[in-house]
Each structure stands twice: as C-alpha cells, then as structure tokens.
Structure 1
Amino acid sequence: MALPKISEIRDLSDQELQERIAAARRQLFDLRFQQATRRLEKNHQFKHTRHQLAQLLTVERERLLTTSKSPVAEE
C-alpha cells in the first residue's frame, strides 16, 4: 500500500477532510487496541495511518490560516 499523496488530499472538500480526519483517528485507536490485545498483524499500518493523519491535519491547518488571514490595512 503506497502512502497517499498530499495533492489528492488538497482536492478534498472541507467536509470530506473532516470525515477523513475522524476516520484516521478512529483507525489509530483501533490499531492501538489490536496491539494491546495482541491481534495486530501488520505493524506498518501505524506508520501509514499516522502519515495520512499528519497530511490531513496539515491541509486543514493551511486552509485555516488562509481563511483567517485578513488583508493588512495600510496607513
């Protein structure tokens, strides 16, 4: 499974972005639970999920900063 490209994530709508963030956090919780109960078979899923979550949060933060920037009033 290849790591996702950030360009694909930037094409998502705000609603889809929020849904993917929630799904990634839920998946990390499930992976930790599987690891604790010794049912986890693919340890690399941690890396992929954390990487994807980081990309999603980065795009969310970029959008937040671009919308909150107000033009600087020149005197």
Structure 2
Amino acid sequence: MDIQELRKLEPEEVLGKVHELKQELFHLRCQLALGRIENPMRIRHVRRDVARARTVLREKK
C-alpha cells in the first residue's frame, strides 16, 4: 500500500487497514511455520505496510 493512499483515508479507515494487515501477517507467519508459504518476502512487505499505516495514524493525531 502506498503512503499517499493511506494519507487520503480517514483515521478510522487507517485503523481498520492496520487490523487487516495484522491479520494477514498472522496468517503468513502460520504458513511460514507450517512450511506452506509461497512468497516469504510477503511477510516483510506486510510488516512495512503496518508500519506505514501506524505512521499515518500518528501524523493524524
């Protein structure tokens, strides 16, 4: 997700996005533990997306 897209959203929407991304991260970690992950680099991208979303929330406060 692009930082510009996140900045256009309302704080509640960004918070929802953080929640969705954290769920995705959980599922990716479960797949990694089971050895069924297709793209291990996806974990890194999702973690960074969570950080971006949290940064935008912090900016809006």
TM-score by length of 2: 0.91
**Higher relative contact order, structure no. (Cα contacts within 8 Å, ≥ 6 residues apart):** 2
TM-score by length of 1: 0.76
Task: Give 3-state SS (helix, strand or coil) of 1:27's partner.
Answer: helix
User: How well do the aligned residues superpose, as a CA RMSD in angstroms?
Assistant: 0.9
**Structure 2: gaps (5+ residues):** none
**Structure 1: gaps (5+ residues):** 65-75
Moved over 2 A (4+): none
Q: Which has the larger radius of gyration?
A: 1
- Once the two structures are TM-superposed, the CA of residue 26 in structure 1 deviates from its matched residue by 0.5
Residue aligning to 1:69:
none
Name whichever structure is richer in helix by fraction.
2
